[in-house]
Amino acid sequence: AQLQRSLVRSHAAGSGPEVEREVVRGLMLLRLSTLATGHTGVRRETAQLLAGLLAHGITPVVREYGSLGCSGDLAPLSHCALALMGEGEVRDAAGQLMPAAEALAAAGLAPVELAAKEGLALINGTDGMLGMLVLAIEDLRMLLRTADIAAAMSVEGQLGTDRVFAPELQAIRPHPGQALSAANLVALLADSGVVASHRGPDCNRVQDAYSLRCSPQVHGAARDTVEHAATVAGRELASAIDNPVVIVSDGQGRVESNGNFHGAPVGYVLDFLAIVAADVASISERRTDRFLDKARNHGLPPFLADDPGVDSGHMIAQYTQAAIVSELKRLAVPASVDSIPSSAMQEDHVSMGWNAARKLRRSVDGLSRVVAVEVLT
């Protein structure tokens, strides 16, 4: 028991700003899911206490830095385990910062006395990075629908054509995400008089710019990448990540060491999604910029200014987009290709999946802002 307490206390060594409440609660829920598989060797009452914290809205304070994405998200999970012991700091359901012991008492919960193996079982998992992956997938699905709407608005505003989005053109390059995005654009532009004007013999527009014409190809590739990430997330959600684990075969139980805690599968797709966020934001910014240049905006005022020369219109809104897109390109540099050995070279290859997840959250936020500016334009 002393070893288990010491493990948790020594590993709760995170630093930096607090991690968001939704991330910590997701981490706790996923750890509870693993405990419930029966492969971790924890007692029922230990798992029930973790469920109790979630039910009462008690959220341990977890810090930004401390996970290498291997042997699990050790420091973040240790801060959560510390709260189960009645130690460390938490925030209650109202967001009030307080000692964990006080929050547990107020909720009528008793701290746990960790038994053999339980300290390890509480801190050895990829739950933090997986939780952030699941949250990002949901956000990106919504943002890609919004990006299709923004693209349709830009096609119409730029006097573009929807002929390039026809289903027969998508069928000869059968990527499912591309077909879905093109179908969305066709549906959104179906009643557009502007777009309809390009279907007659008098139209002299040959081809729209790539940022308009190729929206389904970019948004579609992004969709397919998100769905690949969702497949990986689904496998992880069905997994029991711990080391060692309890295995039962032929009616006999045994404890086995393993390497399932390595975060590479999650880290890779987190990095893929950061690339997606950067590129979808990039094409959105390019569509926006076309509205502001009088040489390309088909008769609209320069910078969409009400009084050109007196006010700047949307000029600085595009600056904001450009600044964010530049940042997103930097955030698209993979974290998972890095590895710094730790634990006296025992842990000599790590995933850096937590870092990939943290930067992806910033990428998703940036993408939402870039697409919002396009919609506003």
Half-sphere exposure (CA, 13 Å, Cβ side) for 294? 7
Asked if residue 298 has pLDDT above 90, the reply is: no
Q: Identify the top-confidence range among 58-72, 289-303, 314-328.
A: 314-328
Which helix or strand (DSSP H or E) is residue 91 part of? strand 89-91
What is d(CA 170, CA 135) in angstroms, rounded to the nearest whole number?
Answer: 30
What is d(CA 28, CA 60) in angstroms, rounded to the nearest whole number?
Answer: 9
CATH 1.10.275.10 in the chain: give the residue spans.
2-125
Confidence of residue 61 (pLDDT cuts 50, 70, 90): very high
Angle at which helices 74-84 and 44-55 cross, to 10°: 90
Asked if residue 309 has pLDDT above 90, the reply is: no
Q: What is the average pLDDT score of the chain?
A: 95
Query: In CATH, which superfamily holds the domain spanning 130-376?
Result: Fumarase/aspartase (Central domain) (1.20.200.10)
Q: Which residue has the tokens 């987190």?
A: 270
| φ, ψ for residue 291, nearest 5 deg | -70, -20
What is d(CA 126, CA 235) in angstroms, rounded to the nearest whole number?
Answer: 12
Confidence of residue 52 (pLDDT cuts 50, 70, 90): very high
Is there a contact between 99 and 61 (Cβ–Cβ < 8 Å)? Answer: no
pLDDT of the residue at 343: 87
- Amino acid, res. 240: A
% of the chain with per-residue pLDDT over 70: 98
pLDDT tens digits along 103-136: 999 999 999 999 999 999 999 999 999 999 999 9
Query: In CATH, which superfamily holds the domain spanning 2-125?
Result: Fumarase/aspartase (N-terminal domain) (1.10.275.10)
Asked if residue 195 has pLDDT above 90, the reply is: no
Residue 103: which of 81, 88, 122 has the closest Cα?
88
pLDDT of the residue at 249: 87
Any idea which of 157-166, 172-181, 216-225 has the lowest mean pLDDT? 157-166
Tokens at 214, concatenated: 């190729």
Is there a contact between 302 and 312 (Cβ–Cβ < 8 Å)? Answer: no
Any idea which of 14-28, 89-103, 201-215, 223-237 has the lowest mean pLDDT? 201-215
Question: Taking the CB of residue 221, how many other CB atoms lie within 10 A of it?
Answer: 18
Question: How many residues would you count in the chain?
Answer: 377
Classify burial at 375, counting beta carbons within 10 Å of its beta carbon; exposed 0-12, middle 13-18, buried 19 or more: middle
CATH 1.20.200.10 in the chain: give the residue spans.
130-376
**Cis bond upstream, residue 301 (ω within 30):** no
- From residue 108, give the alpha-carbon distance in Å to each of 48, 59, 61: 13, 15, 20
Please enumerate in sequence order all residues whose Cβ is within 8 A of that of 374, keeping only pairs 6 or more positions apart, or say none: 150, 153, 154, 284, 285, 287, 288, 321
Question: Taking the CB of residue 205, how many other CB atoms lie within 10 A of it?
Answer: 12
pLDDT tens digits along 35-45: 999 999 999 99
What is d(CA 215, CA 283) in angstroms, rounded to the nearest whole number?
Answer: 8
pLDDT of the residue at 299: 86
Asked if residue 197 has pLDDT above 80, the reply is: no
Confidence of residue 250 (pLDDT cuts 50, 70, 90): confident
Residue 352: which of 66, 80, 48 has the closest Cα?
66
Show the CA angle centred on residue 212, arms to residues 209 and 213, nearest 5°.
Answer: 80
Confidence of residue 275 (pLDDT cuts 50, 70, 90): very high
Q: DSSP letter at 344?
A: T
Question: Taking the CB of residue 191, how many other CB atoms lie within 10 A of it?
Answer: 8
Is there a contact between 183 and 167 (Cβ–Cβ < 8 Å)? Answer: yes
Which helix or strand (DSSP H or E) is residue 60 part of? strand 59-60
What is d(CA 114, CA 122) in angstroms, rounded to the nearest whole number?
Answer: 10
pLDDT tens digits along 64-105: 999 998 877 999 999 999 999 999 999 999 999 999 999 999
pLDDT of the residue at 347: 85
